[in-house]
Structure 1
Amino acid sequence: MSAENPANRLENKWNRSHASEMSEPEKLLYRSNLLGSDKRITNYGGGNTSAKVMETDPLTGGNVEVLWVKGSGGDVGSIRMDGFATLYMDKLNALRDLYRGPEHEDEMVGYLPHCTFDLNPRAASIDTPLHAYVPRKHVDHMHPDAIIAIAAAKDSKSLTRQVFGDTIGWLPWKRPGYELGLWLSDFCEKNPNAKGVVLESHGLFTWDDDAEACYTLTLDIIQKAMDWFTEQTADRDAFGGAIYEGLPINQRRAVAAKIMPTLRGMVSGHQHMVGHFDDSDTVLEFVNAKDMARLAALGTSCPDHFLRTKIRPLVVDYNPANPDLESTLKSLTTSVAEYRAEYQAYYDRCKRDNSPAVRDPNAVVYLIPGVGMITFAKDKATARISAEFYINAINVMREADAVSEYQGLPEQEAFDIEYWLLEEAKLQRMPAPKSMAGRVALITGGAGGIGSATAARYLSEGACVLLADIDDNALAETASGLSKRFSADVVRTVNMDVTDESAVIGALTAASVEFGGVDILVSNAGIASSAPVQDTSLDMWNENMAILSTGYFLVSRETFKIMNVQNMGGAVVFVASKNGLAASPNASAYCTAKASEIHLARCLALEGATEGIRVNVVNPDAVLKGSRIWQGDWLDQRAGTYGTDKEGLEQMYRERSLLKRSVLPEDIAEAAYFLASDKSAKSTGNIINVDAGNVQAFTR
C-alpha cells in the first residue's frame, strides 16, 4: 500500500478555533479523545495523556503546578474530565527522596494518593511518574501498532534510530512504574532536544509545551513509522506467505458455530464465558500463514496486549484444505487440557513467594486456520476487546518480523505483569458479577412487549441477548433502544420464523457465532385468533398449532442440541397463557395450541433434567400493554366475545381477576427472570401464573 494512500494517513482532527476557547485541562481532554478515536494510534484502554497546569490551591489560594493525567483503568478515547487524576507536582517531585530502589517499586503507588490535588477521587495510574518527570507541559503515551512493531523487534534500538534519527530516543524494556519514570527523567535530562522515546516492547512517549503541538507531534511520529513500514514491506509476503485459503464466509461461520459451544463448555468452569468471533481480513491473513504457529507461540509483546490475551493463544487443529470438523471437535479436549497444563507449568516456573494464586488456566484467544479467531472472556465487551488487542498483536508481528525478528515479552517479565500484586489488587476491587453475567439468552417474539421487557430484565442482570422476531422494523427499533440502555455489545437480532426449521437452525447458529452458545431460551413468539368453532378454519387452526406448538418444539430442539454440547445445563422458559389451563369461549385453536405448549414443556423438563436443563412455564393473562397481538383482529374479536369495546376490555380483564390488577409486560419479565436465574435452580416442570388471579387457571 502506498504511503500516499489516504487510507494509510492519520488525520489531524485538531480544530484550532474550537480549542481556542478551552482551558488547559479541557485541551487535554480534547487531545485525548482525538487520539483515542483512531485505533491505529492506540488500542482501547491503552496509553495515557497528561498536562501540567497552574491551578489555584484550595488551601493557600496560591498558584501551584498540578499534573492532570489519565486515571487508572480509563480509556483516552472515551474519557471525560472526571477520568483524570490530579496531583501536586511539588509532592510528586518529593517522592524521589522516598524511593528505596526497584525492589520497593510497588510501595511508591501507595504514596500517590498523598499527592492528590483538590480531593480528586480518581486513582492515579502506574504510569503517573513517567508523565510527572518529563520536563514538558504536555505528554502523550500511545500504543500504535507501527511503533510497537519497532519496539518488539529484536534490534529495536537500531531500528528506532534508523527510522527517527535523534528525534526519538529508545529505552530498554522495563516494567511500568517508578523506576521507569526515573529512567525517562534521566533520558530527558541527557537528551534535551529529543521529542520522545520508544520504550522497548511497550510503546511511544512524545512531549511538547503546547497541547496542539504535542498532538500533532504524536501523529507525525506514528505516521513516519507507518510510512517506513509501508516502504519496507511493499514487496514481501506477510508471515511467510499463505499456506491455506480462507473458507467462504458461510462455511467459516458454520465451523465457528460448531466449535464455539464446544469450547465454551470447556472454558466456563469458573464462570460462564462469552465468545466473540472475528474473521476479518487481518485475522484470516494471519491464521492462514506459514509462520502463524511460530509467531503465535512467542506470545504478545506490549503489556496491554498481554494482559488482555494471556501469554499465548491456542491454535486449533483444523485443516481447511482437508476439513474434518468432527475430528477437530474431538481434538479440542486434548488441546484445551494441554494448554491448561502448559499454563500451570508456566505459573509454577515463574511464581514468586508472594504471587497470587493461579488464575483461570484456559486460553483467551483461539486461532483456526481458514476460519478466523475466537476469544472468550467473562463478558462480551471484554471478549471483543481481547480480539481487538490480538489484532494489534498480529499487526505488530507482521511488521516486526518483516524488517527484523519479532520477539515477545520474556516469560518471567510476562508473568510478573500478569501476576503483579497491583493488578491483583485491582481485580479484587472489581464489583461482584451480576446474577446473569456471562449468560446468553435467545428470546423469540423478542420485539414485542413481553419479549423486549424480558430482554431488558436479563440485560440489567448482565446477560447477553439475541432477539428473534419476524418483524425486522420492530426488531431494529427494539434493539436500538436496548443497545442505548445496555450497550450494543450485548444485543443482537435475527429474523426468525419459528415455523421454519432452517430459520430456527440459522438463529441458533447466530447465537453460537455472536456469543458462543446459549444458556437461556425464552419461547415467546405468539399469535392469537378468536372465532366460534364452527367458524374456525383449518388454516386458522394450523397456524395456531404451527406457531404455538410446532414452533416451540423446533426452537427447543435446536437449543437443547447446543446446551448438550456445552454441558453447562440451561434454562428454558415458555411464555404460555392462562388459556392453556382455562378454556375460553371462541378460542379453541388458541387454547388448544397453548395447552400443547404447556405439555411440551413438561416433556422437555423430563428430558432436560439429566443434563441440568430446567424447563418452566410462565402463564400470563390479558397483557395488553406493548403486545402486538392486541393491536389487530384479536382485540376486536375478544372485545366482541365479551360484549364490550376496545376501551372497556382492559377494565373488564382487570375486574375479573381476583386481585383486580392489570398485568404488565414487566410482570411477565420478572417471572421469566426468576425461572431463568439461579434463584430457581431447583425448579423444573413448573408453571407460574402471572394473571392477577384466575381461579380457573389454578394449577392445583
Structure 2
Amino acid sequence: MSIVKEFKHVNYLWEDSVAAKLAGDEVALLIYRSNLLGADLRLTNYGGGNTSCKTIEKDPITGGKTEVMWIKGSGGDIGTLKRSGLAGLYVDRLRSLENVYKGIEQEDEMVELFNHCIFDLKSKAPSIDTPLHGFLPFKHIDHLHPDAAISIAAAKDGRKITQELFKGTIGWVDWQKPGFDLGLQLKQCLAENPGIRGIMLGSHGLFTWGDTAYDCYINSLEIIEASAEYLDQNYGKKGPVFGGQHIESLDANGRKRQAAAIAPVLRGFCSSERHMIGHFTDDARVLEFINSKDLDRLAPMGTSCPDHFLRTKISPLVLELEANANLADIDDLKEKLTPAFEAYRHMYKAYYDNCKHENSPAIRDSNPVVVLYPGVGMFTFSKDKQTARVAAEFYTNAINVMKGAEAVSEYTSLPRQEAFDIEYWLLEEAKLSRQPKPKPLSGRIALITGSAGGIGKATAKRFIDEGGVVVINDNDSNRLESARTEFNTQFGKDAFAAVLLDVTDSEKIVNAYNEAALAFGGVDIIVNCAGLSISKPIEDHTEKDWDILYDVLVKGQFLVTQKGLEVMRKQALGGDVINIVSKNALVSGPNNAGYGSAKAAQLHLSRLNAAELGGDGIRVNVVNPDAVISDSKIWESGWAEGRAKAYGVTVAELPAYYAKRTLLNKIILPDDIANACFVLVGGLLNKSTGNVLNVDGGVAMAFVR
C-alpha cells in the first residue's frame, strides 16, 4: 500500500485501487504512471518528457528470458500514452551499440540502429531519448521537464544549487543535445555518483527512477516538490520578481477588447508564408512577465529547455504599443507594426545564416510564433489551434523558468548555435517530413451562422474534417449547448469555438467575430446559413412576417458579411463568403411572397458583394439548396404545413414529393450542401466568384442560365 504524502507544488494522483488492478503488469503500470505525470503541466508539457520501464520477457527467437525496455515512442505524449504508443527494445542489443559508436559527430547515425534492437514488432519508432533510458539500469525511469527543476538547471549556478539543495543525492550533467552521447554521460554520472536518486540535465530537465512504478512516481514528485519549494522560499530575496512592475495591465475587459482588435492584424503578419491559427492568453503569469522591467532583457534571450524552444522559436516578438493604444485606424496600426515584423524576420534570417551547416535544412518560416503585447497578453501562431495553444503553454513554462532562475541566481538560455542545432536538427527535420500532408482547410477559420443544426452544422463538421476550425453559433442557447457537447466529443476543444449569435443584432455579430479573433486569430470563411421560412398566401402574410424574413435573411446576411469584411481586411489574406440561398430565389411558386423575394434579395446581394470585394481577394459565392428537411430548424415552424398545403400533399409526403420533381429524383441532405460549400473553398475554385451552385437534385426552373 502506498503512503499518501502531502504535496504543495505538484498533484499527487496515484490511486492504490487503480494500481492494484494493474499489479503484475509493469507495462500497464508504466502507462498509468505516465498518464498521471502528463496530467500535471507543472511536471511536463504536452509531448514533453519520456517514461520507461524494463521487464523480463520470453525471447521469441531463443525461447529464453531477455530484458526488454518499454519507452514512449517518437512524437508521443505521456499524458495520453497508450500501449500502442510504446517502443519495445532488447536492452542488451541497445547497450551493445556502444561497441559501434564512433563519437558525437556521428551520433545521429545511431538512431537508425535502434531499429535493430526492436523486440516488439508493433513498436512505435524509438525516440531520440531511447539511449538515455537504456544506459541506466533502473526498472522504471522518468524524464520530465518540470518548470521548478529547469529553473535550477537553467540558472547560472545550477550545478552548485543542485548539490547544496539535494546534498549530493542528485547528479548533474551539463547541457548536451539529446542523443547517444548524452545517454553515455548519464551512465558515467551514475557510475561516479552511486546511490543518487536522479540527475539534473543542465538547461534541459530531470531524470528520476525507482524499482517500481510507484517508487519512481514518488521520487519524481518529491524532487520536483523540493525544487519548487526552494524557489518559493527565494522569491523576492534578490528584489522584486522580474525587476518589478513597469506598466499596469488593462482590466480584463480591456485586455479582451484590445486582443480581439489586434489579433487579425497580427495573424495577417504571421501568415505571410502560410495561413496560421492563433491563440490568446492573458494568464496572470504571462502578465507579470510582459509588464515587468526585465522584459526587454529576458525576452530576447530565448528559452533554455529544447522542448520549450522547439515550439516557441528563438525568441518572441515584443510589441512596442501602449496597452490602451487606439487600434481603430488599421492603416496606421499596420504602419507601426510593419518595421517590427520586418526586423524580426531579418533577425531570424541572420540567425539562420550565422548558424547553418552545409547540410542544414532550408530556412523555415521566419515569422514569430510568440507575440507579446505588454499590458494585454500573449499571442501565439502556428499551423493549427492545438500547436498554437501548446506553444503558449510552453512559453508560459519558459516564463516560469526565467522567474525561478532569476530568483535564485541568473537565468541563462541556450547559446544561439546550440538552439539552431536543435531547431534544424536533421532528425527533427526527418520527423517533420513524416507528418501527414496538410488538409485543404488547414490554417483556415470559418464562421458559419446557424451552425447548431441542419445545413450549418453539417458544413461546420465538413470543414473541421478538412482541417479547418470553426465558430459555431445559434440564437437558441439550448440548441447551441447541445451542438457544443457534440462537437467537443467528436472533434475536441481545439477544433471549434461556440457563441450565441442573433444575425439581426450588430452588437452580437461583432461579439461573435471578437470571439473568433480571440479563439483563432480572425476569420477566413463566412457561411451565411442562418434562416427561417414562412409560407402563407399573400393575403395572410403579416407585416411582422415580412420584417422577420428580411431581417434574418437579407439584413442578417448583409450585417454578418459587413462585419466579417472588417476582420478580413485587417488580415489582408483574402477570404471566402458563401451564402446559402435557395432555389426559391429563382423559382416562382405559390404562398411564397415573403420568403421567395427575400431569397432573391440574398442572391443579388451576393452578386453585388462579389463585384465589390474582388479587389480584397474576397470571393463571394452562392449555394442554392432545395427541400433540405433533415435537422432543419425552418421545418419546426409552419413552413412544412404551408408547403404541403401549397402542393396538395401531406407533410409526410413532402420529402418524396420534392425528390420526384427533381431531374435526379434525389432527396437533398445537409451533407450535400456541406459538400458544395467545401468545393467552393477547398482550393480548386480559388479563381471563381459570383457563382451560383445548385444542389437541388436538378430543378430545371432554377437553372441560372
Q: Identify the residue that residue 153 of structure 2 maps to in structure 1.
A: 151
> Given residue 14 of structure 2, which amino acid in structure 1 is its aligned partner?
K
Matched, 1:485 2:490: yes
Which moves more between the two structures, 307-316 or 156-165? Answer: 156-165
Matched, 1:309 2:312: yes
Q: 1:262 to 1:5 in 2, by over 3 A?
A: farther
> Given residue 245 of structure 1, which amino acid in structure 2 is its aligned partner?
E
Equivalent of residue 536 in structure 1, options 530, 533, 541: 541
Q: 1:434 to 1:17 in 2, by over 3 A?
A: closer
> Given residue 16 of structure 2, which amino acid in structure 1 is its aligned partner?
N
CA contact (8 A) 1:12 1:219 kept: no
- Looking at structure 2, the residues matched to 269 and 234 of structure 1 have their Cα atoms a distance apart, in angstroms, of 42
Write out aligned runs for 1:212-227 (5 A): 212-227=214-229
- Looking at structure 2, the residues matched to 325 and 455 of structure 1 have their Cα atoms a distance apart, in angstroms, of 31
Equivalent of residue 452 in structure 1, options 449, 457, 460: 457
Q: Determine helix, strand or coil for the equivalent of 1:574.
A: strand
> Given residue 8 of structure 1, which amino acid in structure 2 is its aligned partner?
H
Which moves more between the two structures, 331-340 or 17-26? Answer: 17-26
Which moves more between the two structures, 389-398 or 316-325? Answer: 316-325
Matched, 1:508 2:509: no
Residues 90-146 of structure 1: CA distance to partner in whole angstroms, max 9, x if unpaired?
Answer: 101110100011111111111100100031341111111110011211111000000
Q: Identify the residue that residue 402 of structure 1 maps to in structure 2.
A: 407
Residues 31-88 of structure 1: CA distance to partner in whole angstroms, max 9, x if unpaired?
Answer: 1111111111111111101111101111121110001111111100001001110110
Deviation at 1:538, TM superposition (A): 0.9
Equivalent of residue 37 in structure 1, options 33, 36, 39: 39
Equivalent of residue 589 in structure 2, options 576, 581, 584: 584
Equivalent of residue 697 in structure 1, options 691, 699, 702: 702
Q: 1:550 to 1:322 in 2, by over 3 A?
A: closer
Which moves more between the two structures, 124-133 or 261-270? Answer: 261-270
Deviation at 1:482, TM superposition (A): 2.1
> Given residue 451 of structure 2, which amino acid in structure 1 is its aligned partner?
G
Q: Identify the residue that residue 20 of structure 2 maps to in structure 1.
A: 19
Q: Determine helix, strand or coil for the equivalent of 2:452.
A: coil
> Given residue 247 of structure 1, which amino acid in structure 2 is its aligned partner?
L
Deviation at 1:480, TM superposition (A): 2.0
Residues 292-313 of structure 1: CA distance to partner in whole angstroms, max 9, x if unpaired?
Answer: 1211111000000000000100
- Looking at structure 2, the residues matched to 409 and 453 of structure 1 have their Cα atoms a distance apart, in angstroms, of 48
Q: 1:229 to 1:353 in 2, by over 3 A?
A: same
CA contact (8 A) 1:317 1:328 kept: no
Write out aligned runs for 1:324-343 (5 A): 326=329, 328-343=333-348
Identity of aligned residues (%): 50
- Looking at structure 1, the residues matched to 535 and 212 of structure 2 have their Cα atoms a distance apart, in angstroms, of 74
CA contact (8 A) 2:262 2:327 kept: no
Q: Which runs of 5+ in 2 are unaligned?
A: none
Q: 1:594 to 1:418 in 2, by over 3 A?
A: same
TM-score (norm 1): 0.97
Equivalent of residue 249 in structure 1, options 224, 249, 252: 252
Q: Identify the residue that residue 547 of structure 1 maps to in structure 2.
A: 552
Q: 1:321 to 1:506 in 2, by over 3 A?
A: closer
Deviation at 1:329, TM superposition (A): 4.0
Equivalent of residue 461 in structure 1, options 463, 466, 471: 466
Write out aligned runs for 1:337-356 (5 A): 337-356=342-361
Measured on the aligned residues, the alpha-carbon RMSD in Å equals 1.5
- Looking at structure 1, the residues matched to 530 and 372 of structure 2 have their Cα atoms a distance apart, in angstroms, of 37
Write out aligned runs for 1:278-317 (5 A): 278-317=281-320
- Looking at structure 2, the residues matched to 497 and 637 of structure 1 have their Cα atoms a distance apart, in angstroms, of 25
Q: Identify the residue that residue 564 of structure 1 maps to in structure 2.
A: 569
Q: Which runs of 5+ in 1 are unaligned?
A: none
Deviation at 1:269, TM superposition (A): 2.6
CA contact (8 A) 1:284 1:371 kept: yes
- Looking at structure 1, the residues matched to 19 and 115 of structure 2 have their Cα atoms a distance apart, in angstroms, of 34
- Looking at structure 2, the residues matched to 609 and 258 of structure 1 have their Cα atoms a distance apart, in angstroms, of 24
Matched, 1:266 2:269: yes
Residues 126-173 of structure 1: CA distance to partner in whole angstroms, max 9, x if unpaired?
Answer: 111110011211111000000000001011001111221111111111
CA contact (8 A) 2:151 2:405 kept: yes
Deviation at 1:595, TM superposition (A): 0.4
- Looking at structure 2, the residues matched to 448 and 76 of structure 1 have their Cα atoms a distance apart, in angstroms, of 36
CA contact (8 A) 1:572 1:676 kept: no
Residues 319-361 of structure 1: CA distance to partner in whole angstroms, max 9, x if unpaired?
Answer: 2266667555432111000000000011111111111111111
Q: 1:16 to 1:169 in 2, by over 3 A?
A: farther
Equivalent of residue 526 in structure 2, options 499, 521, 524: 521
- Looking at structure 1, the residues matched to 92 and 111 of structure 2 have their Cα atoms a distance apart, in angstroms, of 16
- Looking at structure 2, the residues matched to 227 and 143 of structure 1 have their Cα atoms a distance apart, in angstroms, of 16
Deviation at 1:429, TM superposition (A): 1.3
> Given residue 554 of structure 1, which amino acid in structure 2 is its aligned partner?
L
- Looking at structure 2, the residues matched to 343 and 569 of structure 1 have their Cα atoms a distance apart, in angstroms, of 27
Deviation at 1:632, TM superposition (A): 2.2
> Given residue 302 of structure 2, which amino acid in structure 1 is its aligned partner?
G
Q: 1:330 to 1:692 in 2, by over 3 A?
A: same
Residues 637-682 of structure 1: CA distance to partner in whole angstroms, max 9, x if unpaired?
Answer: 2222222222111121112222211100000001011112211112
Q: 1:98 to 1:14 in 2, by over 3 A?
A: farther
Q: Determine helix, strand or coil for the equivalent of 1:533.
A: coil
Equivalent of residue 391 in structure 2, options 382, 386, 404: 386
Q: Determine helix, strand or coil for the equivalent of 1:468.
A: strand
- Looking at structure 1, the residues matched to 28 and 178 of structure 2 have their Cα atoms a distance apart, in angstroms, of 27
Q: Identify the residue that residue 8 of structure 1 maps to in structure 2.
A: 9
- Looking at structure 2, the residues matched to 653 and 256 of structure 1 have their Cα atoms a distance apart, in angstroms, of 48
CA contact (8 A) 1:316 1:328 kept: no
Equivalent of residue 605 in structure 1, options 592, 604, 610: 610
- Looking at structure 2, the residues matched to 210 and 315 of structure 1 have their Cα atoms a distance apart, in angstroms, of 46
Write out aligned runs for 1:604-623 (5 A): 604-623=609-628
Q: 1:442 to 1:21 in 2, by over 3 A?
A: closer
- Looking at structure 1, the residues matched to 572 and 22 of structure 2 have their Cα atoms a distance apart, in angstroms, of 59
Deviation at 1:514, TM superposition (A): 1.0
Q: Determine helix, strand or coil for the equivalent of 2:78.
A: coil
CA contact (8 A) 2:85 2:123 kept: no
Q: Identify the residue that residue 495 of structure 1 maps to in structure 2.
A: 500
Equivalent of residue 67 in structure 1, options 52, 57, 69: 69
- Looking at structure 2, the residues matched to 328 and 402 of structure 1 have their Cα atoms a distance apart, in angstroms, of 37
Equivalent of residue 633 in structure 1, options 627, 632, 638: 638
CA contact (8 A) 1:108 1:178 kept: yes
CA contact (8 A) 1:259 1:329 kept: no
Q: Determine helix, strand or coil for the equivalent of 2:565.
A: helix
CA contact (8 A) 1:19 1:27 kept: no
Q: Identify the residue that residue 432 of structure 1 maps to in structure 2.
A: 437
Q: Determine helix, strand or coil for the equivalent of 2:121.
A: coil
Matched pairs, number: 697
Which moves more between the two structures, 165-174 or 235-244? Answer: 235-244
CA contact (8 A) 2:550 2:598 kept: yes
> Given residue 378 of structure 1, which amino acid in structure 2 is its aligned partner?
K
- Looking at structure 1, the residues matched to 227 and 569 of structure 2 have their Cα atoms a distance apart, in angstroms, of 50
Q: 1:85 to 1:347 in 2, by over 3 A?
A: same
CA contact (8 A) 1:528 1:590 kept: yes
Write out aligned runs for 1:408-419 (5 A): 408-419=413-424
CA contact (8 A) 2:261 2:327 kept: no
Which moves more between the two structures, 318-327 or 257-266? Answer: 318-327
Deviation at 1:12, TM superposition (A): 4.3
Residues 674-696 of structure 1: CA distance to partner in whole angstroms, max 9, x if unpaired?
Answer: 11221111211010111111111
CA contact (8 A) 1:575 1:620 kept: yes
Equivalent of residue 175 in structure 1, options 174, 177, 189: 177
Q: 1:137 to 1:355 in 2, by over 3 A?
A: same
Deviation at 1:244, TM superposition (A): 1.4
Q: 1:549 to 1:133 in 2, by over 3 A?
A: same
TM-score (norm 2): 0.97
Deviation at 1:210, TM superposition (A): 1.6
> Given residue 573 of structure 1, which amino acid in structure 2 is its aligned partner?
I
CA contact (8 A) 2:258 2:327 kept: no
- Looking at structure 2, the residues matched to 495 and 5 of structure 1 have their Cα atoms a distance apart, in angstroms, of 43
- Looking at structure 2, the residues matched to 8 and 144 of structure 1 have their Cα atoms a distance apart, in angstroms, of 11
Q: Identify the residue that residue 135 of structure 2 maps to in structure 1.
A: 133
- Looking at structure 2, the residues matched to 572 and 12 of structure 1 have their Cα atoms a distance apart, in angstroms, of 49
Residues 345-393 of structure 1: CA distance to partner in whole angstroms, max 9, x if unpaired?
Answer: 1111111111111111111000001100000000010000000000000
